[in-house]
Structure 1
Amino acid sequence: MPAFPLEELLARPKSKPKGCSRLPNLMDIKFHNNYWQAAQAENLTYYIYGAYYDNRATVEEAPLVRILTMSSRYGKRNEVKFPQVYCQLWYENQTEPLLVNVTDHKIIWIFGGAPKRVYPTLLSCALPQQQQQVPEMVSLVATRCELATNLLRVVYEPRKWVEPATKPRFMVCVKALNYPYSDLSWRLIEWLELLRLLGADKVVFYEAQMHANMSKVIEHYSQQAGYVELRPLSLGRGEPHAAPNFHYWAMSADGFNRRLNEMIPYNDCFYRNMYNYDYIGVFDIDEIIMPLGNLTSWSQLIDVAQRAPDYQRESSRCQHWASFCFRNVYFPSYAERAPVYPTLPSYYYMLQHVERSPEHCNRYAAVKCLHSTRYVEALHNHFPLFFRRKHSCDPKSVPIQYAQMQHYREPTNKTRLLNPIRDDNIWRFQPQLQQRVHDTYKQLGFLPNEL
């Protein structure tokens, strides 16, 4: 239960507050599903997943505590009315909470609503400017002095190193691995090794319920100096999680509900890691941002992307961008076609699949981005929904001569399958990638000893 501060609660001295609120105890909490808590305000219900301390230099209102929720209210942006709610901020060794207003509700969705759904919503609680101590815990309440029904640990992971960075640091966030009936361990290994070659320092996954071999792969990489992290997750509306494979069927039952819930791991991952990485990507395990030409790493790519033409602006006034985004191009399986690289074993999926659709998708269709942790406030899986417009320009579409987002799946529009062209840019990484994948297979016991 990563959000519930049980250790901090047990360590607190038992004392009666002099003010109007006391710290909720374990029996006061309204737990909702495995990893969520609930709060009620008028006829609105908040299901709360996490809380985070935001003191970034680009956030003028900082310091803030951000609270990531699913709420039962939705409507057009700037037209949704939320009740006034409050944060009770609990500091170490203090028995009285600091009471502040929730100053902002950001609905992390722009594509319409439907009944019986809950919507990802990011709340902001502005701390007094002179208050530089990080709160230990926070509760969301409908009135300032009420006894809270929720209590969350405030996540703050400050920068872990003090030496100047010689190049940007990158990490990747992945939605729930919801594969109980499919063994994609072989795809996962190749993908993780290619990410590492491109410059990813960390990859965070969220667990739904997955195949045993995939769990074995995640465990293997989790032991490698923190390269991979697996975090728990359940659905915000309340679907059961503990029953074997039920999460899979709940996700399959309603694609809209699934997409709404996917915003939670993306944004939890971002806020947990924003101080330690310069750029964060949100990808599926069939997606890779591939530098092209002489570029062989994401750090080189970012350097070039900063100077590349900006298709969305005629002027060059921008110096900072919320995100750098890359156009999607499909690499289908083309199972009926002979392998381009017949001597390479078939379990090297990306190295084998070097034929793609002849045309890239447009700049607004299925793009994926590298998001700046200095400016972004809330993420969709394809682009940032909120960012600091005073300090940065809109996401920049990087020209396709520098990089592309390689998508290893069948396109929805089947005409894109026609007239494939060969694109073997990945082969620049072939010797290292092939050897690393093979070594991992051997270590995990996925290959006979004689191979």
Structure 2
Amino acid sequence: MRGRSLWNSRRLLLLTSILLIVGIIIVDYQLDKRVSHPVNGPDVLRDLNEALDAMDYLHDSKNGRAFIRPVFEEESEVREYYWRCSIEKPKRIILPSTNHSWTTNGDFHLFSAYVDTRANSLYPRNQAVQVLAMRFRMPNATVYCNLHSEERSTVVEATVREIWQRGWDPRGDFFVPLLISCPIPRWMEGEKVSVQISSGMCASRETAISVSVPPSPRKDKKVAVCVKGLDFQEDLSASLIEWIEWQFLFGADTITIYVYTVSPATERVLRWYEGQGRIELIWIDLPGDDSPHIPISQSVYMKRNRQQKRRHELIPYNDCLYRHLNSHDFVLIVDIDEIVVPLEHDDWIGLLNSAESSANGRVISSISMRNVFKFPRNETFTNSDILPFYSNRIRSERASKRGDYGKSFSSTRTVATVFNHFALHRLHKNVTHTLHLPERTAVKLHYKSSCPVESRAECPDLTRNMVVDESLDRFAGKIEERVREVRKRIGL
């Protein structure tokens, strides 16, 4: 009787488990039908499959077998549905603005779009509209672009690239940054266009975004500095003035800064520089109705969701790349606690000319500098209030390993997307990997309040073995003069 009872218990447990799983699937199906964006709805089987896929990828990565997405595209056929699709003109076209909100097309949240006339391996005979967008999870079906000019419209198949490599984090349950490339039919080239994104072949959308044409080229070599979305409640005005002046002293032609929220004192400094025409401010928020949009809630959300924050940062970086596509030869992506210092030249232009000469004819994607940490110490000068960066005279003796925390000048002539530390997707197969400069040539000073958690194994060495940093000494007089003048004009 006892054995029979145990058998019955097992059968009952199995039956209960089956019924529970079926019930979850039914409820999940009903919920999926009810939500406005099914991609965001719960899906137990999908979530399980994605989790297993991420685990498999991590296992393959550990054993050196993980697939790495290509960083350049093979030629793709231009598939146009001019005759097969009858789509309506957009009822509303969103124009570029420095107060930037997202435009939602179904599951896609569009940030900006630019005409790209550069030669490339993907559409070698066509110009393209490059759309920067985010979507919850990578799309797994064909994506289409609705292109509208004043007189006519057409639909083309898009090429979608995630601005991410799975080796950095293989999980897919995030808003992912996308570059959506829409080939422009030859008969539409040169026309003012707007674009919509759709998962359906001939699906009309009410809202489109205007496609920007980057400014015309200039003859002299220029560097544009790009800064991710600032999200700071504290007053950064003193350090920000010095940081901005370092960028201009070393050769920045312009600085584009994206802003979530900053303190009134910090905003005052930013607005002053903007009024002088020296920097460009782009005020941004997060995509999607489900994302927090109140400043405090937004800040808490990004601090608690570090991997999502890293993905969000890539949209402003790449928007900055495309804003300066024609007008600048390089974009430099840095944070406001980082200063790239040329050690063998007086400015970045000399540094870049020398680096390109040393490439021996290779086509460069980006030029990277080694990272050197500078942590808070007691060794400061009396002018520390107006020069907080220069006054920190102590650095870690050892530079970070090549590529770790490094920052790069990325070429606007050769790359399709950029990552925080280097160029990612390239326009052609023959474009080389990142060129890493030796520490004697240039360094990136990285001012941190404490040793980063990612370097926990090296932190004892980085924080204990310190040396005097003299890399900024020869520029000290000029930077102090500049900072004092700006503070006087702002009224600080």
TM over 0.5: yes
Q: What is the CA distance between 1:411 and its match in structure 2?
A: 2.7
CA distance in 2, matches of 1:231, 1:347: 26
Structure 2 counterpart of 1:283: 334
Q: 1:349 maps to which residue?
A: 388
More moved, 372-381 vs 410-419: 410-419
Alpha-carbon shift at residue 223 of structure 1 (Å) = 1.7
1:299 maps to a residue whose letter is I
CA distance in structure 1 between the aligned counterparts of 2:399 and 2:195, rounded to whole angstroms: 46
Shift in Å, 1:65:
0.6
Q: C-alpha separation between the residues in 2 aligned to 1:176 and 1:230?
A: 10
Task: State the match for 1:265 in structure 2.
Answer: 316
More displaced, 233-242 or 169-178? 233-242
Match of 2:211, SS state, is: strand
> Which string of whole-angstrom CA distances, capped at 9 and with x for unpartnered residues, describes residues 194-240 of structure 1?
1001000111111101011110111111122x320111211124455
CA distance change for structure 1 residues 389 and 24 in 2, over 3 Å: closer, same or farther?
Answer: closer
1:366 aligns with 2:424: no
Aligned equivalents of 1:107, 1:428: Cα separation in 2: 43
Q: Name the SS of the counterpart of 1:218 in structure 2.
A: helix
- Per-residue CA shift, 1:331-373, capped at 9, x if unaligned? 1112xx332xx34343311210121000111112111000000
Report the equivalent of 2:481: 435
Aligned to 2:91: 25
**Equivalent residue in structure 1 for 2:253, among 191, 201, 216:** 201
Tell me the equivalent position of 1:338: 379
- 2:157 aligns to what? 101
Alignment partner, residue 449 of structure 1: none
**2:217·2:328 contact (CA, 8 Å) conserved in 1?**
no
Q: Answer whether contact 1:54 1:62 (CA < 8 A) is retained.
A: no
Q: Unpaired runs of 5+ in structure 1?
A: 1-17, 75-80, 311-315, 447-451
Q: Distance in 2 between matches of 1:38 and 1:204?
A: 24
Aligned length: 395
State how far apart, in whole Å, the 2-side matches of 1:237 and 1:150 are.
Answer: 15
Structure 1 vs Structure 2: percent identity of aligned residues? 27
Structure 1 pair 38–344 and aligned structure 2 pair: CA distance change class (3 A): closer
Aligned partners of 1:174 and 1:283 also within 8 Å: yes
Flag as ranges the 4+ runs of structure 1 deviating above 4 A.
Answer: 239-242
Choose which of 365, 387, 390 in structure 2 pairs with 1:322.
365
In the aligned structure 2, how far is the partner of 1:241 from the partner of 1:440? Answer: 36
- With over 3 angstroms needed to count, the CA separation of the structure-2 counterparts of 1:86 and 1:192, relative to structure 1, is same
Matched, 1:302 2:357: no
The answer as to 2:219 corresponding to 1:158 is: no
Which structure has the larger Rg over C-alpha atoms?
Answer: 2
Report deviation, 1:19: 7.1
Match for residue 115 of structure 2?
Answer: 53
2-side partners of 1:255 and 1:271: how far apart?
25
Task: Spell out, residue by residue over 1:233-289, the C-alpha distance to the aligned partner (whole angstroms, 9 max, x if none).
Answer: 111244556534332122122111111111110011111111110000111001111
**TM-score normalised by the chain length of structure 2:** 0.76
Q: Measure the CA separation in 2 of the matches of 1:349 and 1:338.
A: 11
Q: Which structure has greater helix proportion?
A: 2
The equivalent of 2:143 in structure 1 is: 85
Matching residue of 1:12: none
Change (3 A) 1:328 1:19: closer
Give yes or no for the alignment of 1:39 onto 2:39.
Answer: no
Q: In the alignment, what sits opposite 2:466?
A: 420
Offset of 1:383 from its aligned partner? 1.2
**TM-score, with normalisation over the residues of structure 1?**
0.82
For residue 103 of structure 2, what is the amino acid of its counterpart?
Answer: Q
* Alignment counterpart, residue 256 of structure 1, candidates 283, 286, 307: 307
Who is 1:246 aligned against?
A: 297
Structure 2: gaps of 5 or more residues: 1-83
Secondary structure (helix, strand or coil) at the match of 1:347 reads: coil
* 2:231 alignment counterpart: 178
